[in-house]
Amino acid sequence: MILVTGAGGNVGSELTGILTRDGHPVRALVRTPRPLPDGVEGVAGDLNEPASLKPALAGVRAVFLLGGYDDLPGALAVMRDEGVEQVTLLSSRSVVGGHSGNAVAGMHRAAEASVRASELAWTFLRASGFMSNTLRWIPGLRAGDVVREPFAEVPVATIDPYDIAAVAAESLTTPGHEGRAYALTGPEALLPADRLRVLGELLGRDLRLEPLPDTEGEFDDSEVTSTVQDLTGQAPRPFATWARTHLAAFR
């Protein structure tokens, strides 16, 4: 049995889909009960309350884990005590490139340190910026044709959460990934204006980017890696594919 945390999120929902499609038994950790895809069992639990995870961990061999919760060492200790053998942690490329004062990088570094210290077998998925961050533009696009965005001149090799999930599924179901930290990116580095142009073409709208002042130093998230292709045999999906798949959300 594989437990997916964040199963309602961008990556977790893709992961439960891939695992059930491939015939693996999947359980979703949910905070509040809700309908789940066929074949996915939902069990209540809260990552901020380690003891609450016990029912969801019965019979679980491997966990897909998000970081950033109150007591990750406590949650990992409960997993180990309940018989979990391996964890795949969703991390970020900022752990390598982010400066020491960056809160997001600090959160991911702390999560990786907790997992390393847990005695569980681990794999880290150090992802670049998600294509799904584009969903943040929806309120602006409802109000008009202008998107206001900081870091307008910073290219990012954005990744489709589907591709992160595809690598996560490999790491959870095939051997050879223990102790590996994978840098995962999409196929090309894009500026926000590049993503907006693709979106505008698909929507048939003339959209415009208005740069906002950059809030804090950004790390370099522009380098493209071949890891998704190497591990899944599939090229990472371009932004246009992600945008087409999620176009209804922008209409």
Ligand X SMILES: NC(=O)c1ccc[n+]([C@@H]2O[C@H](COP(=O)([O-])OP(=O)(O)OC[C@H]3O[C@@H](n4cnc5c(N)ncnc54)[C@H](OP(=O)(O)O)[C@@H]3O)[C@@H](O)[C@H]2O)c1
How many residues bind ligand X, per CB under 6 A? Answer: 26
Indicate if the alpha-carbon torsion angle 226, 228, 232, 238 is positive or negative. negative
Per CB under 6 A, does 238 bind ligand X?
A: no
12, 42, 186, 192: which one binds ligand X (CB under 6 A) = 12
Q: CA–CA separation, 161 vs 38, rounded Å?
A: 21
Q: CA–CA separation, 153 vs 230, rounded Å?
A: 30
56, 127, 189, 231: which one binds ligand X (CB under 6 A) = 127
Per CB under 6 A, does 148 bind ligand X?
A: no
Pick from 158, 159, 138: which is nearest to 147 by CA?
138
6, 42, 98, 192: which one binds ligand X (CB under 6 A) = 6
Per CB under 6 A, does 16 bind ligand X?
A: no
Residue given tokens 């998925």 in the structure block = 125
Contacts with ligand X in 161-190 (CB under 6 A)? 161
Per CB under 6 A, does 48 bind ligand X?
A: yes
Per CB under 6 A, the segment of 62-70, 71-79, 137-145, 199-207 that binds ligand X is 62-70
Per CB under 6 A, does 67 bind ligand X?
A: yes
Q: CA–CA separation, 49 vs 61, rounded Å?
A: 20
Which pair of structure tokens corresponds to residue 181?
A: 């930290």
69, 182, 219, 239: which one binds ligand X (CB under 6 A) = 69
Residue 26, phi then psi, degrees to nearest 5: -130, 135
Q: CA–CA separation, 196 vs 233, rounded Å?
A: 29
Q: CA–CA separation, 184 vs 181, rounded Å?
A: 9
Q: CA–CA separation, 226 vs 214, rounded Å?
A: 29
Per CB under 6 A, the segment of 60-68, 114-122, 145-153, 189-197 that binds ligand X is 60-68
Per CB under 6 A, the segment of 16-24, 26-34, 173-181, 201-209 that binds ligand X is 26-34
Per CB under 6 A, the segment of 40-48, 134-142, 186-194, 200-208 that binds ligand X is 40-48
Per CB under 6 A, does 130 bind ligand X?
A: yes
3, 60, 75, 90: which one binds ligand X (CB under 6 A) = 90
Per CB under 6 A, does 68 bind ligand X?
A: yes
CB 157 within 8 A of CB 228: no
Q: CA–CA separation, 57 vs 45, rounded Å?
A: 10
Q: CA–CA separation, 230 vs 105, rounded Å?
A: 26
Q: Which residues bind ligand X (CB under 6 A)?
A: 5-12, 29-31, 46-48, 66-69, 90, 92, 127, 129-130, 132-133, 161
